[in-house]
A and B are shown apart, each in its own frame.
Chain A
Amino acid sequence: AQKVTQAQTEISVVEKEDVTLDCVYETRDTTYYLFWYKQPPSGELVFLIRRNSFDEQNEISGRYSWNFQKSTSSFNFTITASQVVDSAVYFCALSEDRDDKIIFGKGTRLHILP
């Protein structure tokens, strides 16, 4: 069965600290897609990244980086030098190749304290 687990319900860090959000997924498919979305207090879902299961290269985009490890079924997200504007709920998600629906984790609420 497909499942996404974000064990960290809530994290608080002081501004400029690095923070890693964990994501573990379960799927029976060999082809699948992993996502991270950000939901700021305003409520919209902001797409951050999509990674397919055949691409295990880590990705860096500015202060954001993602570590995909198939061996541990993890797709972790790191924010370097966090800023107050990074405060939001972050969702990890999975989509299998058999259909298009996106399965979301429960989310991690991140507080960046000034």
Chain B
Amino acid sequence: DSGVTQTPKHLITATGQRVTLRCSPRSGDLSVYWYQQSLDQGLQFLIQYYNGEERAKGNILERFSAQQFPDLHSELNLSSLELGDSALYFCASSVVGTSGINNEQFFGPGTRLTVL
């Protein structure tokens, strides 16, 4: 158990809908990262937040957005869902948001999103 929690575990929805994925980082971790694992793209970095602020952006679609709240939990919002958004979404957390020896990331169990 990494200490990172993600809810829900599974989510099934229809095209055009909007969903919210939630992540609670390990106690004391200030950084949260979101990754998407799809059959087409593999495992790819989406976005990072550090202490409430966006720190880095990867291949995140404009239909997707994220935020990190004062209690450090994070939410990934996916809107106007398409079939291709079906994937496993991982959240990870780390102590700091800057590079260096403390960039070890601990991954949550993932949320499996199915868009029908």
Contacts and interface: CB of A to CB of B under 8 A. Distances in A.
Contacts of A102: 33, 35, 45, 92, 105
Contacts of A106: 42
A63 B42 CA distance: 27
A44 B112 CA distance: 11
Contact of A101 (B33, B98, B104, B106): B33
Interface stretch (A16-24, A64-72, A77-85, A89-97): A89-97
B99 A47 contact: no
A47 B109 CA distance: 12
Contacts of A96: 99
A45 B90 contact: yes
Contacts of B2: 47
B103 A33 contact: yes
Given A96-B99, A104-B44, A47 B31 contact: no
B11 interface: no
B48 interface: yes
A37 B112 CA distance: 19
Most chain A beta-carbon neighbours within 10 Å: one of B44, B45, B58, B101: B45
